[in-house]
Amino acid sequence: MASTLYQQRSRNVLKTYALMAGFLVVVIAIGWAISWYYGNPAILYGAVVFSLIMNVGSYWFSDKIALSMNGARPASREEFFDLYTVTENLAITAGLPMPRLYVIEDPAPNAFATGRDEKHAVVAVTTGLLAILDRTELEGVIAHELAHIQNKDMLVMTVAVVLAGFVAIVADIFLRMSLFGGGGQERDSRAGVLFMVLAVVAIILAPIAAQLIQLAISRRREFLADSSGALLTRYPEGLASALQKIASDGTPMRRANHATAHLFIGNPFGSQAGKFMNKLFATHPPVEARVAALMGSKAE
């Protein structure tokens, strides 16, 4: 188990660098195409600067962006005593610094972890989760999120949210430029074909960016976090019961979106998870398989 965890952490760091490098290449390529069309090298230089800034920003501020996208607010010890003490006890057991705690005002039960490293980790839970779970189930969920922190899953998860999202934005901007023209009459002959091709590329780039999230973050990390969390609490039944409650609730999150869906312990689309597009970009294995794996590990 230990060797598997160390291998997973190393792979997640490499995945993060690969995502950042890919983002750099894509934005520079789009910048080069626009600068070639307009005959202005400054556009290419601007694309390079933009991609570098976004790479640094995604690493340092991805947690703040993810929290803002989901409307999370800080959770105090006084207001959420059980959440705070459960997290504090499990963090001590895992040998991790106490993560910052946030709460999302949402009736759908769910939770996620974010942050660039163990010292800057954040765990966010919904009010719906706190309302339906007992203490042992809450321990299972928090242990799962702490496992993501310890395994460095959250690094690649949060960077993927920001970079894939901005690739889609850049593609959309370029698509609009191609549709509404610009660039001068003298370039119309050669630009027509170029912009037509790039418009098609831009159209398909946004869903590809979302798909990259699924490719970058395998379903295996959820099984690994489940097993690591169960190992931390020594009570897999708690997490198994929590997963079943989350899945059976069926309430979709108010701010559910494909960009951050992979961050959560459960599918944020709830009862809408079975729809075609949600299935296409599913980042979680079936709850039945996760529960079976947890209870199987107990039997062993």
145 is catalytic: yes
Yes or no: say if 236 and 154 are a contact pair by the CB < 8 Å rule. no
Q: Report the pLDDT value the prediction gives residue 16, as an integer from 0 to 100.
A: 65
Q: Report the pLDDT value the prediction gives residue 172, as an integer from 0 to 100.
A: 63
Number of Cβ within a 10 Å radius of residue 243: 24
| Average pLDDT of the segment spanning 119-124 | 94
| Average pLDDT of the segment spanning 221-225 | 84
Average pLDDT, the chain: 78
**What six digits make up the tokens of 252?**
């979709």
**Residue ranges covered by each domain of the chain:** 2-67+157-216
Catalytic residue (one of 137, 145, 186, 237):
145
Q: Which of 76-90, 190-204, 212-226 has the lowest mean pLDDT?
A: 190-204
Q: Report the pLDDT value the prediction gives residue 2, as an integer from 0 to 100.
A: 46
User: Strand 72-74's sheet: what is its strand order?
Assistant: 72-74, 100-104, 122-126, 111-114
Q: What is the pTM of this model?
A: 0.74
What string of H, E and C letters represents the secondary structure of the chain?
CHHHHHHHHHHHHHHHHHHHHHHHHHHHHHHHHHHHHHCCHHHHHHHHHHHHHHHHHHHHHHHHHHHHHCCEEECCCCCCHHHHHHHHHHHHHHCCCCCEEEEECCCCCCEEEECCCHHHCEEEEEHHHHHHCCHHHHHHHHHHHHHHHHCCHHHHHHHHHHHHHHHHHHHHHHHHHHHHCCCCHHHHHHHHHHHHHHHHHHHHHHHHHHHHHHHHCCCHHHHHHHHHHHHHHCCHHHHHHHHHHHHHHCCCCCCCCCCCHHHECCCCCHHHHHCHHHHHCCCCCCHHHHHHHHHHHHHC
